[in-house]
Amino acid sequence: MTDLLDEQAGFEPLAERRLGPLFWICVGWLTLNVLAALLTNVLPLVNPLYQNYNVINAGPSLHHLFGTDDLGRDILSRVVFGSRVSLAVGSGAMIIGFGIGMPLGMLAAYRRGRLDAMLTAVMYVLLAFPAIIAVIAVISFWTPRTLLKLIIVIGLASVSLVYRVIRSATLSVATKDFVTAAKVQGSTDRRILLRELLPNIAPIAVSFLLIGVATVVTLEGALAFLGLSVNPPTPSWGNMINESRTVMAQNPWLVIFPSLALCLFLLCLNFIGDRLRSYFDVTEVKL
């Protein structure tokens, strides 16, 4: 009897597969982040560019919850305003990536034939291209740098990855009996793609989307850190961490808060993506 129970523990029956409280904490934190970024103008925050020379490099206090930086700017308000850059790049780039990659991937897997062979060959070559270096290259030549250009470049670079994941996900569904049944009943291609295939690949798409946003936000952070994202004094998490390096010894808070904000944001995204993947029993897809 005990042997039987032990064996079952490895399989985790459906009723026991729950998302868990940590999942909802992460969802709550992300919602808070998004709301704060959207409502920056309504929230009672100090102007993130306002320099108050009476309080320079001050630690956390009631007036400045996160303290102030070397120019007397409020760190809390800079962290909140900085999140807008990360969120804009993360969501914007993924809208472009999924907007192009997802329909192409679904269509290729559904139609097969010459279209599929051609698209897959092109995407294969693009995938072999080291995306991060290509992004840095294009960003550095396509002057002057703006946030929109950054979003476009990263978005286009992600198309081939999205295509690959969505295509293989659709392929596994497109051969199922219910799709054949729909075809036999005379459903239009459009109806099959939107009503039969799309709902079935949605879980994979969503968990891949979340991990994609996390990857793009990390990339933007690294680019901002190298001075290739938005220009100072506009705050972003990456450039705040970079600027804080010179005064790190006197004021460690300056490094800690934006780093913490970025890490928590990424941790929540990764965790939600990971939980969703095991909840819907999706096999490992990597970015």
Partner 1 sequence: MLKYVLRRLVTLVGIVFVISVGSFYLIHLLPGDPATVILGTGASPANRAILYKQLGLNKPIIEQYFVWIVNVLHGNLGTSFISQTSVASTIRAAYPIDLELIVLSQLLAFAGAIPLAMRSARKPNGLIDRVLSAGSFTLLSIPPFIIIVVLVLVVSIKLGISNTGPSSFVPLTTDWRVNLASMALPSITLATASFVLYFRVLRSDLIATLQEEFITMARSKGLSQRRIMWRHAFRPSSVALLGTAGVNIGGLLAGGFVVQYLLGIPGLGYTLISAIASSDYLLVQGIVLVVSVGVVLINFLFDFLTSLVDPRISRD
Among 24, 172, 252, 280, binds partner 1 (CB under 8 A): 252
Q: Which residues pair with 74 in a beta bridge?
A: 68
Contact letters for partner 1, residues 90-129 (x by CB under 8 A): ----------------------------------xx--xx
Among 181, 263, 278, 281, binds partner 1 (CB under 8 A): 263
Mapping DSSP onto H, E and C, the string for 115-153 reads HHHHHHHHHHHHHHCCHHHHHHHHHHHCCCCCHHHHHHH
Structure token digits, residue 160: 């081939």
Among 255, 279, 282, 285, binds partner 1 (CB under 8 A): 255
Distance CA 255, CA 92 (A): 27
Among 25, 43, 95, 132, binds partner 1 (CB under 8 A): 132
241 binds partner 1 per the rule CB under 8 A: yes
Distance CA 194, CA 224 (A): 38
Residue 38 gets the label, from left (phi > 0), alpha (psi -120 to 50) or beta, of alpha
228 binds partner 1 per the rule CB under 8 A: yes
Least distance CB 150 / partner 1 (angstroms)? 14
The region of 37-45, 75-83, 179-187, 269-277 touching partner 1 under the rule CB under 8 A is: 269-277
37 binds partner 1 per the rule CB under 8 A: no
> What phi, psi does 163 have (nearest 5°)?
-55, -50
Least distance CB 163 / partner 1 (angstroms)? 16
227 binds partner 1 per the rule CB under 8 A: yes
226 binds partner 1 per the rule CB under 8 A: yes
Asked whether 100 and 159 are in contact (CB, 8 A), the reply is yes
Among 116, 235, 271, 272, binds partner 1 (CB under 8 A): 271
140 binds partner 1 per the rule CB under 8 A: yes
Asked whether 237 and 261 are in contact (CB, 8 A), the reply is yes
Contacts of 258 (CB under 8 A, 6+ apart): 75, 78, 79, 82, 237, 240, 241, 244
Asked whether 268 and 90 are in contact (CB, 8 A), the reply is no
Among 142, 172, 178, 233, binds partner 1 (CB under 8 A): 142
Distance CA 165, CA 178 (A): 22
The region of 31-39, 104-112, 135-143, 172-180 touching partner 1 under the rule CB under 8 A is: 135-143
Least distance CB 79 / partner 1 (angstroms)? 14
Contacts of 206 (CB under 8 A, 6+ apart): 276
Least distance CB 125 / partner 1 (angstroms)? 5
270 binds partner 1 per the rule CB under 8 A: yes
Residue 132's alpha-carbon distances to 25, 89, 194, 219, 222, in angstroms, are 32, 15, 33, 8, 11
The region of 74-82, 102-110, 162-170, 263-271 touching partner 1 under the rule CB under 8 A is: 263-271
Binders of partner 1 among residues 205 to 224 (CB under 8 A) are: 214, 218, 221-222
Which residues contact partner 1 (rule: CB under 8 A)?
Answer: 124-125, 128-134, 136-138, 140-143, 214, 218, 221-222, 225-228, 238, 241, 245, 248-249, 252, 255, 259, 262-263, 266-267, 269-271, 274, 284, 286
